[in-house]
Amino acid sequence: MDLTGKTVVISGASRGIGASAARVFAAAGANVALLARSAEALSDLVAEIGEKALALPCDVADYASVKAGFDAAQARFGRLDVLICNAGMIEPIARVGAADPAEWARLIDVNITGVFNMIHAGLPHLKAAGGGAVFTIGSGASQRPLEGWSAYCTSKAGAAMLTRALHLEEGENGIRVMGLSPGTVATQMQREIKASGVNQISQLNWEDHIPADWPARALLWMLSADADEFIGSEISLRDEGIRKRVGLI
């Protein structure tokens, strides 16, 4: 797929799925605008990718900084075409009665409000470019409760509904909206889960997790005509049929 001249904005881009997506989309010819809190990690990634990449240190829970980042990306590349709402956190991992209220609220701010901020700041740019795509990163946790994960499960369920609401409102306006549920991925988040020792996910071995470039490659495939039937819905990378269509197996 040739994305030369297109611009992809990726949140949570300093590591894991976000960093892998930056590499995959840049390799396909796209400019990549990279949002994350770690300026140092972003700087290293930009140095690796080259002139097609732009580091935009910001907190997705802060709307003003997200909007400023989008404006900077527009000024640098001239257009924005794809939003990948990837930023997310797992902590606090704690039972409801023991969770710290401030930490619980912080996760909601990042995992739900951060997605809203990306969409709200990005939609005018996508429409100015004649349409575009918004992809969110979902989770099987949005559909079932897991001990100690009340904040994460709640946030992913909320983000999934936000994705559906966006498709309802903007699908007819040239905005391609889809979610991707990758399953368990070999990232820092899984290290935090493992260290918690809480619920069955923490008992998985490292080799049970898929590599971060798998969801990154799936996100690129989601722009193709082969994925048109899934517009407005969430794709599960646990599905062997989907993995085959992406070219992972």
Tell me which residue has tokens 């770690």: 38
d(CA 149, CA 155): 10
Q: Any alpha helices (H) in 85-149, and if so which ranges?
A: 101-108, 114-128
Report residue 91 as tokens. 């902590």
Q: Which residues are catalytic?
A: 152
Beta carbons within 8 Å of 108's beta carbon, 6+ residues apart: 151, 154, 155, 158
Q: Any alpha helices (H) in the chain, and if so which ranges?
A: 16-27, 39-49, 63-77, 101-108, 114-128, 150-170, 188-196, 213-221, 240-246
Hey, how many other C-beta atoms are within 10 angstroms of the C-beta on 144? Answer: 10
- In terms of phi and psi (left: phi > 0; alpha: psi -120 to 50; beta: otherwise), the region of 4 is beta
